[in-house]
Structure 1
């Protein structure tokens, strides 16, 4: 019987009070902030905000709890922009939208940082009995794609180095049930013939560093056929598909042509649109996907938003968390407030 899991790919919007407070505090601290440089007041503001977003997930009834990645001002580039051997360059558009990040310019060896592990340690302390922690990282291909290499000899070596760096970070993580690797660049800037197999190998390196279930979540459209075929070679538990944006027929073709993993992640809720889907819509989308792939019964379906949620106002992100949890409950046949 398929297990249905309500979760998200993280990167939540900062609570409004925290956004204002942190803007004031950071305005008094010159230069780029890197791990360990934040003053106690900044650390305290992030700690309070983290408590809020963990409570939001617990209150909504999600099955996996993420840390929220509220410190990730540079979006998926964050694990590099806080690294000692990375310099932050100019402002770069984050894919094709109105969000921006500082270009991480890698100027030295990508050795161990521990920044994300420290965040997860603080989040794990907030979990209640029965909660399951989900770690979130950029996938190695997307992180390499978002960065500039000023140290390694070529694209392939750089991608390998990023994969090894992320694997080292994962080894320091506290106990976690699931690891989501976010790989939008596999869609937005698909690897060429020289890198598509290498991207799969880099993902393998990260997945091998944890005993948790690993989900490679792609979004903003469908994966190209060859990229998908190589991704199937990666030793991960699930591949994530964007059911909201892009060509769903291409996604279904890939799955029916090459198969998929025993589990799947489905981006059922639009992470960039303030329109909140009803729980019934989410349930129907889960059932629709399962109907399109009648030959396979999944071990686990991770029901999630298609993208990160930092694009949304806080109240809308909170409503989408609740809708996801209630939609999964409906798909399980459970009684919910919606049915009352």
Structure 2
């Protein structure tokens, strides 16, 4: 069994690059107005990417993400920069004090290579690259449809769009982490479970890389969890910070994929976990489920990390890597 220290991406912008973006645009966040950046703004984001990759390597993470510094609209970003999407009103991002521009889909969602371009740039900085993408269901929750005409058709269109994006990823991508918090916060009705399963299966089929579907801010419903096990993804994610008992129950009752992603560091709390805490959470999960000989255990913060100050973000990376190392040494 392999333990992999990694993250769910969407990092805070490093202070130097944030200051540069403020100088260039008058804002540190929201520098992307319509997806077209000036050369100076693009250079600031390139520098941010280099710093974020370096921070992960310095911390000792096993799988490195691009950092998503350009994702001013968080998970909605791939839509907000698409030519057939209008960036609408500023609305609350889930139930917290962060906001994004609501994407309004006005035309067909065709692959545009925005994510692949960022990943190609990151591939020059690391040989252990992990992609981060929003899940199709979460995008239906964050966006507004003026093109497809029904929730089912909208979900299918988003799945096809994401599959096209993923298919264009560089070969250097080892893992694709699909973030699906809306499956917990705004779960689909029972009669939509199969469509959600098929949408995720379409994204999974678009790549030879290992696909990990990660949810957070709670645990999946039992029926939905069972349906997701039919997607053939490499791993499902479980939030051991917000819902450790509920997540363990799901695995005890229904099993899980051959690999798991475990959210063992709080992505929204500035308190930095001790490496012992990270190791204990990983060990506790394995001791609590009936089959614990997984192919891979991805150890990750439970959520995105842009909520954190840069210093806390970097400290949590180090704690995560050190905690995984403790588990590996103990075994």
Work out whether the TM-score is over 0.5.
yes
Q: For the residues of structure 2 that align with 1:72 and 1:267, how far apart are their CA atoms?
A: 22
Q: Is 1:236 matched up with 2:233?
A: yes
Q: Is 1:303 matched up with 2:302?
A: no
Deviation track 1:182-213 (CA, whole Å, cap 9, x = no partner) reads: 00000000011232211111001011011011
Shift of 1:31: 9.8
Shift of 1:297: 1.3
Contact 2:265 2:316 in 1 (8 A): yes
2:186 corresponds to which residue?
189
Matches within 5 A, 1:273-284: 273-284=269-280
Shift of 1:14: 0.3
What 5-or-longer segments of structure 1 have no aligned partner?
336-340
Q: Is 1:314 matched up with 2:313?
A: no
Matches within 5 A, 1:23-34: 23-27=22-26, 33-34=33-34
Distance 1:163 1:32, change over 3 A: same
Q: Is 1:206 matched up with 2:203?
A: yes
What's the C-alpha RMSD, in Å, of the aligned pairs? 1.6
Greater Cα shift, 194-203 or 88-97? 194-203
Q: For the residues of structure 1 that align with 2:176 and 2:291, how far apart are their CA atoms?
A: 27
Q: What is the TM-score when the length of structure 2 is the normalising length?
A: 0.96
Q: What is the TM-score when the length of structure 1 is the normalising length?
A: 0.94
Match 2:326 to one of 308, 320, 330 = 330
Paired residue secondary structure (2:285): helix
1:270 corresponds to which residue?
266
Paired residue secondary structure (2:64): coil
1:100 corresponds to which residue?
99
Paired residue secondary structure (2:315): helix
Shift of 1:255: 1.1
Shift of 1:143: 1.2
Matches within 5 A, 1:1-340: 2-27=1-26, 33-35=33-35, 37-127=36-126, 131-175=127-171, 176-246=173-243, 248-333=244-329
Q: For the residues of structure 2 that align with 1:40 and 1:182, how far apart are their CA atoms?
A: 30
Q: For the residues of structure 2 that align with 1:258 and 1:240, how far apart are their CA atoms?
A: 14
Contact 2:106 2:145 in 1 (8 A): yes
Deviation track 1:266-322 (CA, whole Å, cap 9, x = no partner) reads: 000000000000111111110000000133311110000000000000010000000
Contact 2:252 2:290 in 1 (8 A): no
Shift of 1:17: 2.0
Shift of 1:334: 6.9
Shift of 1:20: 2.3
Paired residue secondary structure (1:333): helix
Contact 2:25 2:31 in 1 (8 A): no
1:338 corresponds to which residue?
none
Paired residue secondary structure (1:177): strand
Q: For the residues of structure 2 that align with 1:298 and 1:230, how far apart are their CA atoms?
A: 20
What 5-or-longer segments of structure 2 have no aligned partner?
none
Greater Cα shift, 78-87 or 219-228? 219-228
Q: How many residues align?
A: 328
Deviation track 1:5-37 (CA, whole Å, cap 9, x = no partner) reads: 000010000012212221232249x996333x1
Q: For the residues of structure 2 that align with 1:67 and 1:296, how far apart are their CA atoms?
A: 30
Q: For the residues of structure 1 that align with 2:75 and 2:44, how far apart are their CA atoms?
A: 21
